Amino acid sequence: MNDALTAKINDQINKELYSGYIYLGMAAYFEGENLPGFAHWMKRQAEEEVEHAMKMFTFLAERGAPITLDAIDGPTTEYDSVLGVFRAGLEHEQYVTGLINDLYESALAEKDHATAIFLQWFVTEQVEEEDSFGSMIEDLERVGDCGKALYMMDRAAASRE
C-alpha cells in the first residue's frame, strides 16, 4: 500500500474512534437528562463507530500496512437540547462523509483498487448514517416542545439495535 494512503487510513481510524467518543459524550448528556432511550441510541452509535475503526484496522493489518494510533481528545457532554444533540450528530456525520469521500478519491488516484472497493462500503454506510440522524431531527422538529411526545420518542429510541 502507498504510504500516503496508509497514513490517511490510520488517521481515519483515529477519527472513527473519536466519533465513538463524541457519541458517548452525547449519551452521557442524555443520561444526565434522564433520557435513557436516547442514551441507548447514542451508545449504539458509538459502538458502530468503533466497529468502523476496527474494519479499517483489520484491513490495514491484512494488507501488511503499519497501524498507528493517536491520542483522542475528550468530547463535550454539554448540549442545549435533544434536538441540538442530533443536529450536532448530523453535522459530524456530514464531516465524516467528506473524510470518507476524500479517502475513496485518494484510493482511486493511487489506482489502489482493493482499497477503493473496501472503502465503497463506508461510502454507502455514510448515506445511512446521515439519514438516521436526519430522520431523528425531522421527528424532533415535529414534536417541538411536547414533553409527552419526547417521552415516547425516548422510549422508541431504546429499541435501536
Q: Which structural domains are found in the chain, ordered by start?
A: 3-65+77-157 (1.20.1260.10)
Tens of pLDDT, residues 10-52: 999 999 999 999 999 999 999 999 999 999 999 999 999 999 9
Q: How sure is the predictor about 145, in pLDDT bands with cuts at 50, 70 and 90?
A: confident
Q: How sure is the predictor about 154, in pLDDT bands with cuts at 50, 70 and 90?
A: very high
Cα 106 to Cα 140: distance, rounded to the nearest angstrom: 37
- Grid cell for residue 39: 442514551
Would the pLDDT of 1 be above 90? no
Q: How sure is the predictor about 109, in pLDDT bands with cuts at 50, 70 and 90?
A: very high
Q: Across residues 82-91, what is the average pLDDT?
A: 98
DSSP structure class, residue 80: S
98 by Cβ neighbours in 10 Å (0-12 / 13-18 / 19+) ranks as exposed
Cα 111 to Cα 139: distance, rounded to the nearest angstrom: 42
Q: Compute the residue count for the chain.
A: 161
Nearest to 76 by CA among 116, 7, 29, 110: 29
Q: Are 11 and 68 in contact (CB under 8 A)?
A: no
Q: How sure is the predictor about 121, in pLDDT bands with cuts at 50, 70 and 90?
A: very high
Nearest to 160 by CA among 23, 17, 19, 25: 23
- Grid cell for residue 51: 466497529
Count of alpha carbons within 13 angstroms of residue 112, beta-carbon side: 20
Q: Give the pLDDT confidence score for residue 11 in this predicted structure.
A: 98
